[in-house]
Amino acid sequence: MFDEVSRNKRNSIFLILIFLVIISILGVILGAIWGSIYFGGILALIFAIIYSLIVFKSGDKMILSMSGAKEVKKSEYPHLFHTVEGLAIAAGIPTPKAYVIKDSALNAFATGKDPSNAAITVTTGLLEKLNRQELEGVIAHEMSHIKNYDIRFMMLTVVMVGVVLLLSDFILRSFWFGGGRRRDSGNSHLIILLIGLALAILAPIVVQLVRLSISRKREYMADASGAILTRYPEGLASALEKIKDDPDPLVDKANRATAHLFISSPFRKVKKSSLWSTHPPINDRIKKLRGM
């Protein structure tokens, strides 16, 4: 557990390599459709690099804006500030900025590029309905995401999914509207087009499943790391019980792109967890915390 930061940094590099390979393959397929493999590959890589830099530089601000989060002052929510400051000292990282979403749902998330540029966001519903120890448990969970560099790792997965989705969609459009002009180039070209069509359809599904799997594993680790930070697993376990029993869990401005960042799914309750779930079963998380 205490090697998590190093593991996340290694996984981030590995993720970037996989990302570049997938982008290159999709770029080559796109180039084959256009008639120039090299042009397609180079164009895809340039697009991926520019997109990655934009998202990585301003992605956290975009997420906060999309979520309707507002930065707050210590005078407005002194208990929230004291909790964030205290746990940041305990975690040995700079104090993250504090944001609040005006929403009755019980939820929270962390975002940013690294511990020096991070923010913790909570809903007003969470602040109103959790006691001190429960709030500490939730903040410690989010603080662990920051300390363990989960925020950077998850930002990279967002970039990967976004670029693959855009390129796959572009390939499909090029295939249907432009690829037909070159179908008489021979069997080899037809085979490339068919492979490209299959990849364009399957690649988004694969990267989405990878992203969701990573998200579920990160939640388990943040639960455990947060419990170690507070030395009181019951605080987070009790908070998760209240979150589970929330009659209106929908965070109004949440969307599919940011759902994995929240401590619990910001959408309506689903009957059971699946490969497409952003979070592991909440009852399982509570059981693991109470078994510590």
- Provide the pLDDT for residue 244: 92
- Provide the pLDDT for residue 269: 64
- Catalytic residue of the set 142, 219, 234, 241: 142
Euclidean distance between CA atoms 154 and 158, whole angstroms: 6
Count of Cβ atoms closer than 10 Å to residue 75 Cβ = 7
Which among 4-13, 91-100, 111-120, 249-258 has the top mean pLDDT? Answer: 91-100
Sign of CA dihedral 187, 189, 195, 201: negative
- Provide the pLDDT for residue 14: 74
Q: Quick check: 276 pLDDT over 80? A: no
Comparing CA positions, the residue from 52, 9, 262, 260 lying closest to residue 149 is: 9
**How far is CA 108 from each of CA 69, 119, 146, rounded to the nearest angstrom?**
11, 11, 13
- Provide the pLDDT for residue 133: 96
> Per the structure block, which two tokens stand in for 15?
């993720």
- Provide the pLDDT for residue 212: 74
Mean of pLDDT values over 191-200: 70
> Per the structure block, which two tokens stand in for 95?
């104090």
- Provide the pLDDT for residue 187: 61
Report how far Cα 269 is from the mean position of its chain's Cα atoms. 19
Task: State pLDDT tens for residues 36-70.
Answer: 777 777 877 787 788 778 777 777 888 898 889 99
Q: Superfamily for 69-151+213-290?
A: Metalloproteases ("zincins"), catalytic domain (3.30.2010.10)
The mean pLDDT of the chain is 82
Mean of pLDDT values over 142-163: 82
- Provide the pLDDT for residue 4: 58
19 or 127, which is more confident: 127
Strands of the 70-71 sheet, one edge to the other: 70-71, 97-101, 117-123, 108-114
- The percent of residues above 70 in pLDDT, for the chain, comes to 84
Mean of pLDDT values over 263-284: 76
What band does 196 get if pLDDT is binned at 50, 70 and 90?
Answer: low
Known catalytic membership, residue 136: no
Task: State pLDDT tens for residues 212-258.
Answer: 777 777 888 889 899 999 999 999 999 999 999 998 888 988 877 77
Per-domain residue ranges for the chain?
4-64+153-209, 69-151+213-290
Q: Quick check: 167 pLDDT over 90? A: no
